[in-house]
Amino acid sequence: MSKNLAELISQMTLEEKAGLCTGASAWTTTPIERLEIPELICSDGPHGVRRQPNVHDMGAKSLPATCFPTASCVSASWDVDLIHEMGQALAEECIALDVDMLLGPGTNMKRSPLGGRNFEYFSEDPYMAGEMAASFINGVQSLGVGTSLKHYAANNQEFQRFSISAEVDERTLRELYLPAFETAVKKSQPWSVMCSYNKVNGTFASEHKVLLTDILKKEWGFEGLVVSDWGAVRNRVKALQAGLDWEMPGPQDRRVQAVIEAVRAGTLDESVLNESVRRILRIVFKAQETPKTGKFDIDGHHALAQKIASEGMVLLKNDGILPLKAPQHVAIIGKAAEQAHFQGGGSSHINPTKVAVPFSELQSRGGNAEFSYAEGYPADNSFQPMMIDQAVGIARSADVAVLFIALPTYKESEGYDRKDLDLTDQQIALIKAVSAAQPKCVVVLNNGSPVVMKEWIDSVPAVLEAYMMGQAGGAAVADVLYGKVNPSGKLTETFPLRLEDTPSFTNWPGETGTVHYGEGMFIGYRHYDKRKIPVQFPFGFGLSYTTFDYADITVSAKNFRDTDGLTVTARITNTGKVAGKEVVQLYVRDNEASLVRPEKELKGFAKVSLNPGESKIVRFKLDFRSFAFYHVEHKQWITEDGEFEILIAASATDIRLSETVTLKSSLVLPCILDIESTIKEWLSDPRGKMVINPIYQQIENHSRAMFSQQDRYGDNKPDTTDNLGMGDVMEMMNDMPLVSVLMWQQGTLTMPAEDMVEGLLMQARNLGK
């Protein structure tokens, strides 16, 4: 605690301390005039500044601000520098709109494509999400504006989000649902972390001491404040004790009084309250270092939003129809062509400074082309055959048809999850009818997460995933369709063939107040890899108007220590006729591990810009964590000796280069064998193996003799052991606890089996001292 803050806290009354830890309004901390403690103003984000004119309002129309593309589009750019630039632009708007802290980024995993808020999140992969979040935070905070990393943790659905308990095992939590937060905290130190509404393994996130204090603040070294999601606190005293510093929204007089009474009664140590006060004051005064004045560059930020949208759009299919040739007669079909669908519903909804209309932007780039328009589908869920007939009519008379298909807000929004992965019945019928009438057909999708396409994709030659593309997305779409911009986005989530194939299908959305993460670590491409399930479009996939060659993989060492890490390079060449950008991905595969691991995991990526014929070397640096997994019994990340494959890929299913390396672990792990450990676990433990080796041959000989005798004379033992060959017998024995095997051989022992194993355990543990 710095001297100034310590002195200030010592001057505060108990009532003032308790009051500071709860908001004064919907968007501000509680100022204390007598001590010259100002208020801090925050605003919803994350892809725009939703500044309320009145800090006591939550749902009023916000002040105009740039609506940048949502996270699903931004992440598909795979460009950490670009999202850093977006963060700086957001900070400039915060400064102009008198906002000290922006509530974002959202960094939760996309456990299921049904998640209603997935458009606000980056990826199904924690490495990707963490890198994007860290760069976003660093961009915003580089200009003296704070961020709030959210929603911590395991907040992966909207169904019963205020109360449901996410039941997730420790290893899955550590390897999937926490690492993105960990990366962002360690690389960027956000001013705040926002806890989620839900429970995690039965405890509200707002009261989860392990998550908020033990892991976030102590293990990861988080220096900022922990704020509740709006309305997430159930018990203010328990939340403070767990590490929840600032409750929002306010005022909450009853909560403040509860804190005061708890301190006076001795049930809440005042030092705990003081620590939360210190963290809040540190951020409040940090915010004052940046004067909130001036204006922001409306046109410049609109142009940046267009650039980000252009980089994030993913060309999913192109049978040569794109880019469009001009002049042509172009039929533009779909409500979203005239009424751009560029953001999601809920707390992130931005009042844009301007909006690029796709139809108008296409007209401005089409030269002497003739354009016609049909609405195609209604705003509601009704089925309108006449609208389809009209669209078919203009498509048939045109040279090419472009359909703008937007997933409506009633199917996808904050507050509720999707019930399916389908477009509306009208939209599906529209695509089928138009593509039948006009084979030269392009589908442009506006959605926040995957849709299934099996009913119609074979009938259309081109599909562009434009996502929730931000206010300038209409111009970006036009640039991509006409070839002014070569598409370079790649998916950061898998597009499945059908909902039934998705990882959490049988564990979604939960019941009786709990949702079981029964799929464990295997979400996204990890799931499809492990189960060898075909997909519509894999993680990391995206087409270009040019082609790229991958060659010359090198590694800094074929044999290396985990602490030394590894440097990997590859040469990427543009082999096409136009300039383009390629997203190069690096995955790591552990060829053999003591615990189950994914087939491969993303551990690096790079976006490289290349002119026709140009080559560049991309470089990746891998560290200890690139090869490690979390071991629940050791309570730490560990590496193991062995071979790993380094995979350089264009997508999760398009591996272009590979190299095998051998890792030497630097860890000396304690012996974790116990009375129930199997023979196989004894043999896998270096110390256990040394101890058990002298008697293992005796165990094997006795087992062989016992079952050989059983085969010879017959026995009434259980059927599972009848007529087994010796190899099978020992495989069975090795999977049994050592104590159980020894009990079968008790007649040959000089002491009870339990005592013998306890003695062996003592020997193994002493070897580690």
Rounded Cα–Cα distance for residues 129 and 136 (Å)? 11
Q: Which among 21, 40, 103 is positioned nearest to 268, based on CA atoms?
A: 21
Amino acid at 376: G
Distance CA 690, CA 766 (A): 12
Farthest CA pair distance, the chain: 98
The sign of the CA dihedral 195, 198, 201, 206 is: positive
Cβ of 419: how many Cβ atoms within 10 Å?
9
Dihedral angle sign, alpha carbons of residues 496, 500, 503, 504 = positive
Residue among 342, 527, 414 at smallest CA distance from 106: 414
Query: Which two tokens mark 143?
Result: 């200009």
Q: Are 316 and 465 in contact (CB under 8 A)?
A: yes
Candidate list 79, 229, 417, 562, residue with the active-site label: 229
Which residue reads 């997508």 in tokens?
A: 651
Has 229 been annotated as catalytic?
Answer: yes
Q: Residue 312: enclosing H or E segment and its boundaries?
A: helix 298-312
Distance CA 204, CA 199 (A): 4
Which of 755, 747, 762 is CA-nearest to residue 698?
A: 747
CA dihedral of residues 630, 636, 642, 643 (deg, nearest 10): 40
Displacement of CA 493 from its chain's centroid (Å): 9
Strand partners, 28: 41
Q: Quote the DSSP letter at residue 171.
A: H
Q: Is 234 exposed, middle or buried (0-12, 13-18, 19+ CB in 10 A)?
A: middle
DSSP letter, residue 210? I
Burial of 109 (0-12, 13-18, 19+ CB in 10 A): buried
- Asked if 488 contacts 372 with a C-beta cutoff of 8 angstroms, the reply is no
Give residues with Cβ within 8 angstroms of 678, minimum separation 6: 734, 735, 736, 737, 738
Task: Taking each helix axis as running N to C, give the angle between helix 80-96 and helix 298-312, from 0 to 180 degrees, rounded to the nearest 10.
Answer: 150
Q: Tokens for 460, please give them.
A: 């259309």
Instruction: For tokens 């030092």, name the residue.
Output: 271
Coil, strand or helix at 618: strand
Q: Give me the sheet containing 580-590, strands edge to edge.
A: 559-561, 654-664, 642-651, 580-590, 601-610
Interatomic CA distance for residues 436 and 419, integer angstroms: 29
Instruction: Give the other-Cβ count within 10 Å of 410's Cβ.
Output: 12
Distance, CA of 326 to CA of 478 (rounded, Å): 12
* Gap between the Cα atoms of 240 and 206, Å rounded: 9
Half-sphere exposure of 551 (CA within 13 A, CB side): 7
- Residues taking part in catalysis: 229
